[in-house]
Structure 1
């Protein structure tokens, strides 16, 4: 995959500035889960656990409305507000110094309907989120670095290296933005060498050391799925749910669904552009459903 050449962005052309204001006050951010993707970030929202859906799952059960990667394509309002393009824009500004960098105002706009966050691309802006929401509790989901690397290569890398997905991305703007976002996330974690296990491992280690250094111990919970409900609920001041902590989801399932979604969107493009424009709508809805149900 070729390296992305960032497009120069002017302040007046930013996607984030096109999101209309809301009359209702934004939710107060309560929880920042700053563990990297594939470290149980999805367990902490509804309890499905691929170490990425874990955190998302648990927080959902505990009553939090949590922003996870799934929300980018799974929430119709976020789709209409082009959150996918906003996060891509934010990472390009951060990594390439192209355009105005996102600050507190931009993050409050993107996250205004949520009171907890987890997973990429939010964790790529850990410093910015800590500055924007200084009162939020911080959770650091842990995983063995080698297992984390295996999971990243079974998901992010498998999608980025897949020729069929890359072909589909040429014809589909959303898939193109999605593949670029994946690349930018890995670029950030690896210092620009996203195919290197060594660089990704180094980025993982640095991220965790940095969070431990800057977040006070009394406001930080280090957690992994085997810890279950007790420490999580104690830290958040919530009663322990009367249900088991869920563990599910395999790494390959994630990339399988994404690649299938890419194929469907490519078929949709062919049908919509060549055979029957109206038929593409139904296929596109199906593709977005797949995308919304993908655990990253």
Structure 2
């Protein structure tokens, strides 16, 4: 682990993932955490974990970003004492809350995205883990994978965000920390990381909360879920056709 992105969810984490990928790092975003090391995360959230667990989970990964990873930035930084820490936050708590609510709304109204939790085996496992993470971090009352984004307690969410930001700003080692404003672009980030400035525009991801749509189009993990969903729909269609054939035969 070379870089820990300690910004909380909805603080430009998707942009940071794209930026660091452009700089040549191997990046684990939220879907990678839950797909590749999801079982380990559930163990940590439900039973506890150690520095050795984090070191084993991320020893071959350059960068971690987004939840549940970012919530445990301090434990992970202890497991990787040479890793640099990058932190971003919104201009205000109100701006952060508005962004989170918009993201939740986008998730809950994208029926194709939600259908992955019931019509894909990979999706069912994935969103079951999302539900557990959401209950721990945001006080969700959901119990089923297809309800993973319902029932966020904004009182809990605001406190999580506030406490998280205070924790990073007061506890992160100053010699390893960059407080980064995404509007500043490549220069301060590349200087901090010792990287040359790429000859490409600075990315801006997940604008207007289109994460679900972008994941469905770009993520290999979510494409796998979609392929499994299409197989499930085909099987259901064949079963329905067969039942229709049998019912017609009964009346002939």
TM-score by length of 2: 0.73
The Cα of 1:157 is off from its aligned counterpart by: 5.5
SS in 2 for 1:84: helix
Structure (1 or 2) with the greater helix fraction: 2
Match in the other structure for 2:50: 103
SS in 2 for 1:184: helix
Picking from 84, 90, 93, the partner of 2:35 is 84
Provide structure 2 residue ranges, at least 5 long, that are not aligned to the other structure. 142-150, 240-252
Please tell me the root mean square deviation across aligned C-alpha atoms, in Å: 3.1
Map 1:30-45 to 2 at 5 A: 30-41=2-13
- Contact 2:119 2:233 (8 Å CA) reproduced: no
Picking from 265, 271, 275, the partner of 2:234 is 271
Runs of 4+ with >4 A deviation: 160-168, 191-194, 257-265
Picking from 50, 55, 59, the partner of 2:20 is 59
Name the larger-Rg structure: 2
Deviations 1:46-82 (A, max 9, x none): xxxxxxx21112222323222223545xxxxxxxxxx
Provide structure 1 residue ranges, at least 5 long, that are not aligned to the other structure. 1-28, 42-52, 73-82, 277-296
Deviations 1:247-288 (A, max 9, x none): 244244222356796776534213146639xxxxxxxxxxxx
- Contact 1:67 1:111 (8 Å CA) reproduced: no
Match in the other structure for 1:235: 192
Change in 2 beyond 3 A, CA 1:65/1:38: same
TM-score by length of 1: 0.63
The Cα of 1:165 is off from its aligned counterpart by: 5.3
Task: Determine the C-alpha separation between the residues in 1 that align with 2:226 and 2:111.
Answer: 11
Q: How many residues align?
A: 223
